[in-house]
Amino acid sequence: MSEQRFSISLATLPIVLITGLSLVLCWQLRQLLLIVMIAVVVAASLSPVVNRFDRLGLPRWLAVLTTYIGLVSIIVGVGLVIGPSVSQQIERLIRQLPTFADILRATIEYWALRLSNAPPELIRQFFDLQSLTGWLIGSSQQLLLRSYGITRGILGGVFSIILSILISGYMVADSQTLLRSLVQLFPTPWDDRLAAQVVPMANRMGGYIRGRLLVSLILGVATTLGLSFLGMGEFALGLGAIAGVTNLIPFIGPILGSIPALIVALSLGGWTVLWVLILFVIIQNVETYVLDPLLVGSSVGVHPLYQLLSVLGGVQVLGIIGALIVPPWFAGVAVLVENLYLRPKLLAERRHSRLSSLPPPDEDAIEVIQL
């Protein structure tokens, strides 16, 4: 028995070594893997547009070039139109952050004193906004460092995004050759099975990203218009941009986007903070019950709890970038699990239940057939 165990361990030793070396290699190449992950998401999002140009008779390379030039033109145009105003308003918000923090502390202390009989010193110690602000700044810095550290800072992040877009262009332009070269690494019949899952995976990943971008754009515009109507026009565009960007992160993004607007509304006094809170509640309900089912739909195809876990896991590992790219990848992997495991398993169980429900064969008939 001991010799058999020893031989089995020797046989599995190369597999263990190869697996360990592969994990080390993936960790060393994590920056490249992140760029490839972003490129795949971008390619899946833009491939329907390229395919539409392709069906119109344009060569594949010209369709890709037209799509990407149009995308870059839209981004640059929007940046030139609203970029300076958004930047100025956000800078103004940052400069006035200490004032907003003082007003928030005074408001909390006032209501705490009115609603309780505790000494003021205890309340001030309990609501130590200076420590809370320091903790929030430190947590934000850690989150940003985790996001940018994997790409070597802001310049590295910009370079990584540009490189991801270029790689995605190559993926879309020569997708058939790329897919054939990848699936042929797997034995038959898994090569054909995996090749058949590429289009469903791309549709689900791309549909999720396109839906989230459109929902975030609509909510950003609605937030800007709503805050302007409520008398916060000085910061409406910047707060709307913050709300739109944070809304790209599922579940926790809308909450994060509402916090700056509520703090600014609190500094204005009166009923403004209540109206701003009602505005965000209405926007959140419109997103949950109207926009998400209509524009995002069932593109994720997994339970909301698993979506939330994928977002939290992406934030933990990759920071803000992980919260954006891990959910579509999770949706793509869900396609593989559904089509290659769950669906065949269900069909096999149904086949087995039908066979078990059939009456047993007649022994006399079997004997007659044998004779």
- Assess if residue 105 is contained within a domain: yes
Domain count, the chain: 1
- Tokens 């059939």 belong to 358
- Assess if residue 124 is contained within a domain: yes
Please, are residues 175 and 17 in contact by the beta-carbon 8 Å criterion?
no
3-state secondary structure of 56: coil
- Assess if residue 96 is contained within a domain: yes
- Assess if residue 177 is contained within a domain: yes
Kindly list the distances between the CA atom of residue 19 and the CA atoms of 6, 13, 23, 185, 254, in Å, as whole numbers in the listed order.
Answer: 20, 10, 6, 17, 40
Across the range 100-126, mean pLDDT stands at 64
214: containing domain? 31-347
| Upper half-sphere CA count for residue 211 (Cβ side, 13 Å) | 22
39/304: higher pLDDT: 39
Residue 371 is predicted with a pLDDT of 52
Across the range 202-219, mean pLDDT stands at 88
The pTM for the full model equals 0.74
- Assess if residue 22 is contained within a domain: no
- Assess if residue 136 is contained within a domain: yes
- Return d(Cα 129, Cα 108) in angstroms, integer: 10
Kindly list the distances between the CA atom of residue 90 and the CA atoms of 95, 154, 294, in Å, as whole numbers in the listed order.
Answer: 9, 18, 32
- Assess if residue 37 is contained within a domain: yes
- Assess if residue 371 is contained within a domain: no
Q: Is 54 exposed, middle or buried (0-12, 13-18, 19+ CB in 10 A)?
A: middle
Tell whether omega for the bond before 189 is within 30 degrees of 0, i.e. cis. Answer: yes
Please, are residues 161 and 35 in contact by the beta-carbon 8 Å criterion?
no
371/60: higher pLDDT: 60
pLDDT in tens, 72-105: 898 888 888 888 888 888 888 888 777 777 777 7
Element (H, E) at 267: helix 253-268
| Upper half-sphere CA count for residue 138 (Cβ side, 13 Å) | 6
Residue 1 is predicted with a pLDDT of 45
Q: Answer whether residue 217 shows pLDDT above 80.
A: yes
Residue 150 is predicted with a pLDDT of 47
Residue 186 is predicted with a pLDDT of 83
Residue 3 is predicted with a pLDDT of 47
**Can you give 299-348 as a three-state secondary structure string?**
CCCCCHHHHHHHHHHHHHHHCHHHHHHHHHHHHHHHHHHHHHHHHHHHHH
Q: Answer whether residue 337 shows pLDDT above 80.
A: yes
DSSP code for 152:
T
